[in-house]
Chains A and B, each alone.
Chain A
Amino acid sequence: MTKNILSPEEIVKSFKDEFKTKITDSRIEKHIRGLKKTEFFHIWIRTDRSIIKDIVKHLIKLEKYPHFAVSSGYDIGEKIDIVYHFSIYYGLKGKEININITVDLPKTDPTIDTITDLIPGALISEQEKQEMLGIKVNNIPKDSRVFISEDYPEDTYPWRKDEKGPGKTIRNLHEVKK
């Protein structure tokens, strides 16, 4: 386990030094809890989708096995945002830091590289984003649906808020391919 612990500011700086202008936004949230005023931090970084793998490789330099909790994703009009939630420095009492990496994918080409070759535990999360948001994860090792049944209509995605969203399908699921 990594012993060289960086502060949240140093972590953000290390990302900016490594990826320069590809890091488009960053912020550090400080949280204080309890009578002893225990502190912990959440880091939020927005970056370009082309470097998602390099970002994960950089995280691996900070922590050999960064913990990948899950990825979230939502539709924001012309784009789809995907947020990868990682944490590092677990196992060191009170030192764990959450790092949330946001990338946006244009709806005209909603593709992103898989990170499962670096973090195998990300598979179900990537499958979920494909079926819920209609993105394409390049080189995903298992390209099948995970939560949605096989008879759910093609090219309709539950979390989309545009014409590809569920619309009225949600009320008429009994009519779908039965």
Chain B
Amino acid sequence: MNSKSANKITYQIPVGPIHPALKEPVQFEFEIEGERIIDVDVSVGHVHRSVEWAGTRRNPIQILYLAERICGICSYCHPMAFSLATERAAEIDVPERAQYIRVIHQELERICSHVLWAGVAAHEIGFDSVLFLTWQIREKALDLTEYLTGNRVTKGITMIGGVRRDITKDMYPKIMEVMKYFKDNFEKIRKIFLDDKTFKLRTQGCGILTKEDALKLCACGPTTRASGVKKDVRVDQPYFAFGDLDFDYITPDILTGEVNGDVYDRIIVRLLEVKGSIDLIEQCLDKMPSGDIVSEEKIAKILSILKKVNGEGIGRMEAPRGEVFHYVKYNGNESPHHWKVRAPTYNNILPWIPMLKGNQIADIPIVAASTDPCMSCTNRVAIIDNGKKYQLDKQKLYELSVEKTRRLMK
């Protein structure tokens, strides 16, 4: 317990490393005055798996499958960013058709991730019926992923120099059918998230990240765009076929005419991005040229080319949560000399601090979840109150959040 003055007593509340609002462990140390958070410290690393170290003991093709397992939701972005970095280091050209197919898979992954997130966010504030509705929609996205790649989670579609499976004309009707399903349901979801009074009460003015803080702390993805920063790798540096497609930065002022940088704005950005992704997939189907889907089909040949590479490259992609960044350095061996992976949450950890300051304990789940952190979830919070330590389990913290929603609904 900290005592700042005779009247103002603050308490330390550790949240995590295990917590229901997060998909992977992370630890917050909150300093609380009454119900209000006045300071936060974040520590990460509870599930560091040494993936980069393991990568330097594998060949680049094996790394593709290792990279898929960095994150279950961004299981396309990581191997693809590694592939981009490798293609740049080895100066491998990717056929144009493959660049379009790469866009389709990336945008489908974004729809899956954002819809999943919408369900989690609804759950955090006590709307479980919305969780089931959104995940029902996500199921369709997973079915389509399975149809196109053969897999639902780790897609196994990435290859250095292209992709492993083509999207042929006979697959178009199925894709268009799912896109229509998304569009038909979009309005329903939009209405719940953006027009519902209680949703607004819980999310507007909550977890604010100012534009200046977003820029200084190098935030990325929807988190930074919701604060009004125009930053999207797809537009800034059009990789794949994004240069051929009609697409722009998505910031909340497109819809509301203003930027507040709160949880509500982060919801707006993600919802609009789902719509943007549907449009991008349709544009790709419309404009996709014919041709090869990979620059070299024989894996042994790719490996023999990469064995001789002496160079370095970076791979950047706009993953659902923000910029994924991979750096790879080859020095003429079978395995890369160094591989650095930077997931978007790495840059969105520090922005949590200004977001959480000034909010209430009951807001922790929704504010923490609003950046869509790529960490995992279980269920224990320990509170040290006046020297007595007791546990606030998943149920209790969740109840606090739901109670606040119910209170506001009255």
The proximity string for B residues 217-243 relative to A, scoring 1 for CB distances below 8 Å and 0 otherwise, is 111100000000111010111111111
Do the beta carbons of A91 and B53 come within 8 Å of each other? no
CB closest residue in chain A, given B211: A65
Counting CB contacts under 8 A, is A5 at the interface?
no
In the complex the two chains form, what is the Cα distance from A49 to B43 in whole Å? 29
The interface residues of chain A lying within 8 Å CB-to-CB of B287 are 35
Q: Are A35 and B96 also in contact (CB < 8 A) when A94-B237, A98-B316 are? A: yes
B101 to chain A, nearest CB (A): 13
Selected contact of B218 from candidates A42, A72, A121, CB within 8 Å: A121
Q: Beyond A72-B340, A83-B327, A100-B314, is A34–B236 a contact (Cβ under 8 Å)? A: no
Question: B88 interface residue, CB < 8 Å from A?
Answer: yes
- Partner pick for A36 among B216, B244, B349, CB 8 A cutoff: B244
Chain B, interface size: which category?
A: 35 or more
Does A98 contact B244, Cβ atoms closer than 8 Å?
A: no
Partner of A124, one of B96, B215, B325, B346: B346
Interface residue A172 (Cβ < 8 Å from any Cβ of B) = no
Is the pair A36, B325 in contact by a Cβ cutoff of 8 Å?
Answer: no
Which residues 46-67 in B have Cβ within 8 Å of A in the complex? 48, 50, 52-53
Give bound CA distance, A70 to B88, whole Å.
18
Complex Cα spacing A96 to B44, Å: 30
Report Cα–Cα, A122/B99, bound state, in Å. Answer: 32
Whether A94 contacts B325 in the complex (CB less than 8 A), given A85-B314, A148-B45, comes out as: no
Q: Out of B99, B236, B244, which one reaches A90, CB within 8 Å?
A: B236
Instruction: Check: B406 CB closer than 8 A to any chain A CB.
Output: no
* A159 adjacent to chain B (CB < 8 Å): yes
Bound complex: CA A101 to CA B11 (Å): 43
Interface string of B82-123 (1 = CB under 8 A from A): 000000100000001001000000000000000000000000
Please tell me the number of chain A residues within 8 Å of chain B, measured between CB atoms.
50
In the complex, what's the smallest C-beta–C-beta distance from A47 to chain B, in angstroms? 16
Query: How distant is the Cα of A45 from the Cα of B261 in the complex, in angstroms?
Result: 35
Give Cα A123–Cα B349 distance, bound, in whole angstroms: 11
B48 and A119 contact, CB distance less than 8 A? no
Bound together, the chains give a CA A40 to CA B237 distance in angstroms of: 6
- Cβ-neighbour of B229 out of A34, A42, A91, A92 (below 8 A): A91
Does B380 sit within 8 A of A, measured CB to CB? no
Say which residue of A29, A34, A73, A98 sits within 8 Å of B96 (CB atoms): A34
A72 touches B338 (CB 8 A): yes
Contact A74 B218 (CB under 8 A): no
Report A25-54 CB contacts with B as 1/0, cut-off 8 Å. 000010101111110101010000000000
Contacts of A149 in B (CB 8 A): 45
Tell me the dominant secondary structure on chain A's binding face.
mixed
B341 to chain A: closest residue by CB: A70
Whole-angstrom distance from the CB of B22 to the nearest CB of chain A?
A: 16
State whether the Cβ of A106 lies closer than 8 Å to any Cβ in chain B: no
Q: Is B48 in contact with A34, judged by CB distance below 8 angstroms?
A: no
Chain A residues within 8 Å of B243, by CB: 33-34, 36-38, 94
Q: A120-B217, A122-B218 are in contact. Are A33 and B239 (CB under 8 A)?
A: yes
Q: Is the CB of A34 within 8 A of B230?
A: no
Expressed in whole angstroms, the Cα–Cα distance for A61 and B158 within the complex equals 39
Question: Which residue from B216, B229, B241, B325 sits with its C-beta under 8 Å from A120?
Answer: B216
A contact residues around B217 at 8 Å (CB): 120-121
In the complex, per-residue mask of B310-341: 1 if CB is within 8 Å of any chain A CB, else 0: 00101010000001010101000000011010
The reply on B198 being an interface residue by CB < 8 A is: no
A96 CA to B220 CA, complexed, in Å: 15
Distance between Cα atoms of A31 and B88 in the complex (Å): 8
Say whether, besides A34-B96, A96-B237, A67 and B325 are in contact (CB < 8 Å).
Answer: no
CA distance A124 to B323 in the complex (A): 16
A95 at the interface (CB under 8 A from B): yes
Nearest-Cβ distance from residue A177 to partner chain B, whole angstroms: 16
Q: In this assembly, does A6 line the interface, its C-beta being within 8 Å of a C-beta of chain B?
A: no
List residues of A (1-38) whose CB comes within 8 Å of B's CBs.
29, 31, 33-38
24 contacts between A and B (CB under 8 A): A33-B243, A34-B99, A34-B238, A35-B96, A36-B244, A67-B220, A69-B316, A69-B347, A70-B340, A70-B346, A72-B329, A72-B338, A72-B340, A76-B337, A87-B236, A91-B231, A94-B243, A98-B316, A119-B216, A122-B218, A148-B48, A149-B45, A166-B53, A170-B53
Give 13 new A-B contacts, CB below 8 A, not counting A69-B323, A72-B338, A146-B43. Answer: A33-B238, A33-B239, A34-B241, A35-B289, A38-B244, A64-B215, A69-B316, A87-B237, A90-B236, A91-B230, A98-B237, A119-B216, A120-B216
Q: Top 9 nearest A-B pairs by Cβ distance?
A: A38-B243, A121-B218, A96-B236, A74-B338, A147-B45, A91-B230, A72-B340, A65-B215, A70-B342
Give A contacts to B, CB under 8 Å.
29, 31, 33-38, 40, 42, 44, 64-65, 67-70, 72-74, 76, 83, 85, 87, 89-96, 98, 100, 119-125, 145-149, 158-159, 166, 170
